[in-house]
């Protein structure tokens, strides 16, 4: 979609089903942004915090907290977002506290469809818009957005509200949120998947939902943990025969056969998802790491910084 390079936008939503490495990719992109001198905020949404720990920092909780030079994180929860948003709207803390006792707030957050989503999205988008001394508070806000049914609902909320809410402060809020989400100059989505059958199925479905139901600019598809093809087809038959050899050759041959098979299956899935989704594709290699920690995320950030990547610097 036309617009500035993806990391130069203000809001980057990293989405994908559970288990694809979404949080690692979000952390890697945050590192990449910081390397380019940006002030980056990573928002997790009502989650068991992952991004700060991946970067070797303490979890932030509901208050924005710096993880590294250039990178801050926060966990946006319905309760904290509701309180902030409610206070903004109602203006008087005493009234808010008198009326919105916790029990009641919790009930309504659960019960009223999309209310939790609305306030969390509102919190995120307010951070995107926030300014300090006339400058944007953040150069880039990355949202680690799990692609459950909720995520699509989350993004649809402002649009849905425009259909039902009469003129007034809430409608105005819904309007600017809707406009910001759909503006390719400011917003983009990176879909993350794995080179495996079910994740690819889910990515295809998610892409369609985002395109058809939400209309948010979709920037790229990231296929994570792709083993590189390392052994030619001709070699692989010979390697299979070598598995019977005594160690260490037998073991090495077995590792190679497994790697070759995995790479072949992965290549098939990458081809399938490229054919099905009309987006630039970034392939991230499978990284063997003793521990999935900050150095692993730095390596992932290096892999994201390839030439031809959807956020490569324009020449």
209 binds another protein (CB under 8 A): no
Strands 218-226 vs 281-285: parallel, antiparallel or unpaired: parallel
C-alpha dihedral, 210 to 137 to 171 to 150, nearest 10°: 30
Question: b/e map of 89-115 (b: 16 or more CB within 10 Å)?
Answer: eeeeeeebeeebeeeebeeebeeeebb
Given 6, 34, 143, 253, the residue binding another protein (CB under 8 A): 253
| Distance between CA atoms of residues 288 and 185, nearest Å | 36
Q: Which residue has the tokens 């989503």?
A: 117
Q: What is the three-class DSSP state of 2?
A: coil
Half-sphere exposure of 290 (CA within 13 A, CB side): 1
Given 92, 94, 290, 315, the residue binding another protein (CB under 8 A): 290
Given 134, 247, 307, 315, the residue binding another protein (CB under 8 A): 247
Of 56-64, 67-75, 178-186, 283-291, which segment contacts another protein by CB under 8 A?
Answer: 283-291
Given 38, 59, 87, 108, the residue binding another protein (CB under 8 A): 108
271 binds another protein (CB under 8 A): no
| Distance between CA atoms of residues 256 and 251, nearest Å | 9
170 binds another protein (CB under 8 A): yes
Given 88, 252, 267, 281, the residue binding another protein (CB under 8 A): 252
Q: What is the three-class DSSP state of 132?
A: strand
Q: Residues in contact with another protein, total (CB under 8 A)?
A: 67
β partners of residue 132: 135
87 binds another protein (CB under 8 A): no
Give the pair of three-digit tokens for residue 305.
């910084």
240 binds another protein (CB under 8 A): no
281 binds another protein (CB under 8 A): no
Query: Which x/- pattern, by CB under 8 A, does the window 139-168 give for another protein?
Result: -------x-xxx--x-------x--xxx-x
Give the pair of three-digit tokens for residue 265.
């299956």
Q: Which residues bind to another protein, rule: CB under 8 A?
A: 17-20, 23, 47-48, 50, 89-90, 95, 98-100, 103-104, 107-108, 110-115, 118-119, 146, 148-150, 153, 161, 164-166, 168-170, 197-199, 201, 230-231, 235, 238, 242, 245, 247-249, 251-256, 258-259, 261-262, 265, 288-292
């Amino acid at each position: 979609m036309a617009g500035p390079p993806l990391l130069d936008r203000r809001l980057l939503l990293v989405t994908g089903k559970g288990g694809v490495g979404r949080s690692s990719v979000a952390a890697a992109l945050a590192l990449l942004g910081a390397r380019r001198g940006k002030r980056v905020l990573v928002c997790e949404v009502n989650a068991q915090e992952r991004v700060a720990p991946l970067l070797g920092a303490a979890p932030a909780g509901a208050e924005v907290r710096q993880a590294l030079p250039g990178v801050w994180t926060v966990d946006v929860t319905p309760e904290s977002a509701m309180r902030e948003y409610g206070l903004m709207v109602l203006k008087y803390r005493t009234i808010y506290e008198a009326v919105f006792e916790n029990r009641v707030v919790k009930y309504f957050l659960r019960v009223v469809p999309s209310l939790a989503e609305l306030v969390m999205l509102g919190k995120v988008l307010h951070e995107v818009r926030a300014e300090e001394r006339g400058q944007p508070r953040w150069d880039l806000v990355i949202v680690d957005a799990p692609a459950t049914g909720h995520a699509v609902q989350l993004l649809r909320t402002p649009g849905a509200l425009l259909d039902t809410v009469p003129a007034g402060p809430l409608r105005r809020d819904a309007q600017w949120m809707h406009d910001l989400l759909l503006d390719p100059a400011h917003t983009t989505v990176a879909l993350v998947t794995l080179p495996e059958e079910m994740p690819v199925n889910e990515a295809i479905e998610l892409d369609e939902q985002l395109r058809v139901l939400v209309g948010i600019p979709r920037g790229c598809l990231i296929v994570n943990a792709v083993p590189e093809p390392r052994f030619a087809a001709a070699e692989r038959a010979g390697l299979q025969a070598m598995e019977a050899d005594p160690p260490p050759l037998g073991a090495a041959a077995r590792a190679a056969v497994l790697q070759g098979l995995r790479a072949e299956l992965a290549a098939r899935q990458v081809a399938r998802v490229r054919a099905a989704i009309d987006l630039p594709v970034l392939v991230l290699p499978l990284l063997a790491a003793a521990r999935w920690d900050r150095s692993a995320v730095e390596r992932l950030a290096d892999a994201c910084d390839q030439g031809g990547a959807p956020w490569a610097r324009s020449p």
